[in-house]
Copies of this chain bind each other. A is one copy, B any other.
Amino acid sequence: MHTAVIIGTGNVATHLFEVFKTNSFLKTIQVVGRTAKGLAPFKNQVTVATDFKTITEADIYFIAVTDKAIAPVSNYLGDRNGIVVHTSGAVSMGVLSASSKGVFYLLQSFSKDQKVVYNRVPICIEASSVSGLDFLKKLGNSISETVYELSSEQRKKLHLAAVFANNFSNHMYAVAAQLCEKNAIPFELLHPLIQETAQKITKLSPKEAQTGPAKRNDILVLQEHLEVLDDKTQQRLYKTISEAIIEFHEEKL
């Protein structure tokens, strides 16, 4: 059994702690956070500390804090033998000051209270040494069916792609919900369509799956939709995204 320290008390830290509770490869021996309040949910389950100078020796240190705090926190761990990893999609491995370092990025949008089927969450790993990579691979495989090695450069691009696939698609749902609400239409009517759209792209590429007036370049419907929208921001979204779809599906001459 290997040992881990988790630094951070947010969503990712909480989920890591949960998943390691039943993990046969790794055991959390300490959770470190800035405030007693953040540590409260952990303190009856594991040793906790607010002083970063008292971090216990372990095989792996997870820095699961906000992006900006990763580098400063890693300075406390510069001389450790264990591997120091952060859990961010957007930050390079290079910001870590440890000699054995890596990244352990769970590609999921975590909410604190949400149940997650961890074996379906892709884990993207990176390490500064072959042995480190091997360790993260084994750890990843003890959690998830999908463990994938990505460079810092690739992970940044994946993180950006996830903004489109998750954050931006969610805002499309938000606009749809707003239009429904304004017109006394239950948003629930759109739930099956949303599910189906998300399912479809596991069988077809999103390009093949595209439908709608912009895909058909149906100027009349596009014009009418723009007139029906009475919100300036919604109009701008409609126009910009429709133009992008038209361009994306244009036959190359």
A157 at the interface (CB under 8 A from B): yes
Determine the residue in chain B with the shortest Cβ distance to A114. B200
Q: Which of A30-38, A75-83, A129-137, A210-218 binds B?
A: A210-218
Contact between chains at A124 and B189 (CB < 8 Å): yes
A174 to chain B, nearest CB (A): 4
Copies of chain A in the complex:
2
Q: A interface, by DSSP: helix, strand, loop or mixed?
A: helix
A219 to chain B, nearest CB (A): 12
Determine the residue in chain B with the shortest Cβ distance to A156. B228
A10 at the interface (CB under 8 A from B): no
- Chain A residues in the interface with B (C-beta under 8 A): 67-68, 90, 107-109, 111, 114, 120-122, 124, 146, 148, 150, 153-154, 156-158, 160-177, 179-180, 182-202, 205-207, 209-215, 220-221, 224-225, 228-229, 233-234, 236-238, 240-241, 243-245, 247-248
